[in-house]
Each structure stands twice: as structure tokens, then as C-alpha cells.
Amino acid sequence: MNYLALHSISKLPLHFINRLRKLKNLRILLGGREHIQEIEENEIEDLEISRVRGFHDLTNITAFQALNRLVIEDQIQLQEISFNQEMKALEELSIRNCKGLTRLMGMEQLPLLHKLHIFKTAIDFDSFINQKLPNSLSSVEFATFKSKADQEIQQSLLKLGFQ
């Protein structure tokens, strides 16, 4: 099995995923859980966490060393994503509608990151853009959905050479 989508599961343990050695794509949609700590080192390449009620802890993200695409969507309780260890495969990071997210740190730990999409978060653009970013980064989209702020952000991104 290389694809698994878990819909509307609440509080069920996820440790069974550790036995799915060939799993490449994991989607966790709806339901409720605070974290995915039970998932240990794995070969998952594509991870999506969307609309999971109560989800607030992504501290084990570096257990996903094969990850090349990460999508986090509609997680209002998630406050921080920190890449505290190098993730050599991650090429695309998309964060949408995570209104409580104030910090995205450790971007320099993502040497192959090409595409970054950040929409509707509480991340301060100036603080974010002034951290060390990967040299591989070529496409950055950052939107607050406040038109004046977004115009300024887009101009800043263009000046920095991002599409």
C-alpha cells in the first residue's frame, strides 16, 4: 500500500502506520487529534493534514525524512512549525488557513525547497522573510487576504526575485 487517506478518525492510535513500510502518500482529513507523534521515521513522501480538529503539534515533522511535499490546511490551533533538523527531500510546503500559526522556523534546514505557499496565517511577513531561507527557493506566495498588506508583500517578494 502506498496511499492512505484517513477521513474523520478521532483519537484512534496511528502507530499502525509505522508498519506500512511502502506508504508514500498520507492524508489525514477531518476528525480530531492533537498530534501525529505515534508516526515514527518513515518513507512518506507526501503528507497532508487538513481540517483535523484540535491539531496543534507538528514537532515530529522531521521524522518524515523522505517528505517532498507537505500540505497543512485549516489547522487553527497550530501555532508553530519548526524544522529543527535538515529535511533533504522537501521541495514544496503549503500552509493554508492556519490562523493561529505565528512561527515558521528552520527554513534553512530545507535545502531543496522550491515552492512555498503561505495563506491566511498569523505569521509576520517581515520577520519571516528576514530569516535565512533556502537558496533553492524560487517560488514564494504569501497572502494575508488584506489587500493593502498583500500588495506590499507581493512587491517585496518581486524585489527579492521570487515569482
Domain residues for the domain of 84 are 3-159
pLDDT at 138: 95
Q: What is the CATH number of the domain that holds 29?
A: 3.80.10
51: Cβ–Cβ under 8 A, 6 or more apart, which residues? 29, 30, 73, 74, 75
Residue 71 three-state SS: strand
Number of structural domains (the chain) is 1
**Cα 70 to the center of its chain, rounded Å:** 5
Task: Record the pTM.
Answer: 0.95
- What average pLDDT does the structure give for the chain? 95
9, three cell numbers: 478518525
Question: Does residue 132 have a pLDDT over 90?
Answer: yes
User: What DSSP state is assigned to residue 158?
Assistant: H
Question: Does residue 163 have a pLDDT over 90?
Answer: no
1: Cβ–Cβ under 8 A, 6 or more apart, which residues? 20, 22, 23
pLDDT at 11: 77
Question: Does residue 10 have a pLDDT over 90?
Answer: no
